[in-house]
Amino acid sequence: MTDLGEIEALLFVAGEEGMSSQDLARACKSTSPHIQTCLNQLAESYQANRDRGITLVKTGPNYRLVAKNNYKQLIKDYAQSPGYQKLSRSMVETLAIIAYKQPITRMGVEEIRGVSASSVLQKLKARSLIKEMGHLEAPGKPLLYGTTAEFLDYFALEKLEDLPPLDDIPLNKELDLFDFNQNRKEEEWECGPIAEGNGSCRSGFPKKVRRHYQARPGDG
């Protein structure tokens, strides 16, 4: 018997892309009708409990966990606070992959980084540095991600073609993805919060990346 907690945990990890009832059934080793019943129960429990900050929504074939509407302003204010604006190393790495490989799916990002990207993608989207660019015509219709105008402003770029070229990086050579300011904590990106100065990061975008990332904007 599938536990509602199992479904909730899977949807949490899936992030904004969500999961279909068929995908959940396979993951839980259950049937689609039973999973659908569980999803209905989960949705009802979220709506009935006003103390819960999240709810269950369906977008296309997929189900997602999202914040309830009455918490949107709270989340927006937090996303714009100086402490939240600092980009961690994982966020900068993910942003670089999207910038050079867009449009790209969450699984595409995870294949390159080797770790889950759901949480990082949500944070980058909350900062308006990335956006959804439709769905890939593939089973499950996964979301495609690309960079935004705010991304260009943040890194003081006029257009995507201004990104540093990557052609001169040797094949299969492991290189640091970004130059970090050693005077800061390792997890903190050198340009700091957007709130500082004019809100842009003029120290430059990636100078060093793995050969695996090499693709011009728009190559897919």
Q: Judge whether 14 and 106 are in contact, CB under 8 Å.
A: no
Look at residue 102 in the predicted model and tell me its pLDDT. 93
Q: Judge whether 42 and 77 are in contact, CB under 8 Å.
A: no
178 lies in a domain?
yes
Q: How many domains does the chain have?
A: 2
For residues 109 and 173, membership in a common domain is answered with yes
220 lies in a domain?
no
**pLDDT by 10s per residue, the chain, length 220:** 668 999 999 998 888 788 999 999 999 999 999 999 999 999 999 999 988 999 999 988 899 998 898 888 887 777 676 555 678 888 888 998 999 899 999 999 999 888 888 889 988 988 889 999 988 888 878 899 999 998 888 777 888 888 877 654 333 333 343 443 333 333 333 343 333 333 444 334 444 333 334 443 444 4
218 lies in a domain?
no
For residue 138, the enclosing domain spans 80-213
Look at residue 139 in the predicted model and tell me its pLDDT. 82
Degrees (nearest 5) of the Cα angle 153, 156, 161? 95
For residues 33 and 86, membership in a common domain is answered with no
For residues 147 and 88, membership in a common domain is answered with yes
Domain-terminating residue out of 71, 94, 115: 71
For residues 63 and 85, membership in a common domain is answered with no
Residue 81 backbone dihedrals phi, psi, to 5 degrees: -75, 150
Domain-terminating residue out of 17, 45, 71: 71
205 lies in a domain?
yes
For residues 89 and 137, membership in a common domain is answered with yes
- pTM of the predicted structure, to 2 decimals: 0.54
For residues 85 and 143, membership in a common domain is answered with yes
219 lies in a domain?
no
CATH number at residue 47: 1.10.10.10
Q: Could you write out the three-class secondary structure of the chain?
A: CCCHHHHHHHHHHHHHHCEEHHHHHHHHCCCHHHHHHHHHHHHHHHHHCCCCCEEEEEECCEEEEEECHHHHHHHHHHHCCHHHHCCEHHHHHHHHHHHHHCCEEHHHHHHHHCCCCHHHHHHHHHCCCEEEEEECCCCCCCEEEEECHHHHHHCCCCCHHHCCCCCCCCCCCCCCCCCCCCCCCCCECCCCCCCCCCCCCCCCCCCCCCHHHCCCCCCC
Look at residue 166 in the predicted model and tell me its pLDDT. 63
Which candidate, 154, 158, 156, 145, places its Cα nearest to that of 99?
145
The position carrying tokens 């900068």 is 92
For residues 116 and 56, membership in a common domain is answered with no
For residues 86 and 37, membership in a common domain is answered with no
